[in-house]
Amino acid sequence: MLKQLLAGAGHFLHGFSLIMKPKVRRFVIIPLSINIILFVGVTYFVLSNLGMWTEQLLPDWLDWLSWVLVPITSLVILVIAFFSFSIIGNLIASPFNGYLSAAVEAHLTGKPISEASYGSMLKEVGRSIANEIRKFLYFILWAIPVLILSFIPVLNLLALAITAWLLSLEYIDYPFANHSKNFATVRQQVGTHRAGALGFGGMVMFLTTIPLVNLFVMPTAVAGATSLYVKSLAGNSQSA
């Protein structure tokens, strides 16, 4: 399991080099611009209120454990806040992320993307946004248990694991969607590589909380998720 977790995290890190490839770079500009605008605002807002929120969430009778609980609670708040806004960012950038994922897949497989493929992707902008909305509704269903768990010391670690899983689904969906696979199929196929998906989502979650680095998380995660799809999930997708 540890090997799969590390492999999943490695695919995300591979995304950093993938977005710099000559035939991929031009597809990064719009998602990166959206991410920069979004996260600059989010980072300022969250860091301005983080101390107050952490103090309000921790009960007085747990002051003796504050040296452990304050960092954990702060991390949970950061993860939930950035995850919520990254969903919005992905909703806005979803058609462009589809282009980016297709360009990365073409680079990894060596199969060129024809102009017809680009045109068909452009016509499916509405479908891309509709798919993001379906993902958003799925994430909302998980939001309540995640929020409840995040308020419970120790159990809030489980909230982090669930968030990592949701983040993996958010980004791995892009290469699947480019092959006309619906979100239900994505959940089923990714579930067969759960440890790898958790490793990937955990790395996304961790780097999302780091200012400046998080500006590059969206396009890097799309590229890394496409790498994970090509190397581990594409065969299952085609047989589904």
d(CA 112, CA 12): 23
Per-residue pLDDT tens for 148-180? Answer: 776 677 777 888 888 889 889 989 998 998 888
Domain boundaries, the chain: 2-235
% of the chain residues with pLDDT over 90: 25
Per-residue pLDDT tens for 88-138? Answer: 777 777 778 888 999 999 999 988 655 444 455 555 556 666 777 777 788
Confidence grade of residue 240 (pLDDT, cut at 50, 70, 90): very low
Confidence grade of residue 54 (pLDDT, cut at 50, 70, 90): low
Global confidence as pTM = 0.75
pLDDT above 50 for 57: yes
Position 113 scores a pLDDT of: 56
Position 93 scores a pLDDT of: 77
Position 126 scores a pLDDT of: 62
Q: What is the mean pLDDT of residues 34-43?
A: 76
Q: Which residues are CB-contacts of 104 (< 8 A; sequence separation ≥ 6)?
A: 18, 19, 21, 24, 222, 223, 226, 227
pLDDT above 80 for 87: no
Position 50 scores a pLDDT of: 64
Q: Which residues are CB-contacts of 230 (< 8 A; sequence separation ≥ 6)?
A: 105, 108, 109, 175
Mean of pLDDT over the chain = 78
Q: Which residue has the higher pLDDT, 77 or 223?
A: 223
pLDDT above 60 for 64: no
Q: What is the mean pLDDT of residues 52-56?
A: 64
9: exposed, middle or buried (Cβ count in 10 Å: 0-12, 13-18, 19+):
buried
Q: What is the mean pLDDT of residues 214-229?
A: 92
Q: What is the mean pLDDT of residues 30-40?
A: 80
d(CA 233, CA 5): 15
Position 229 scores a pLDDT of: 94
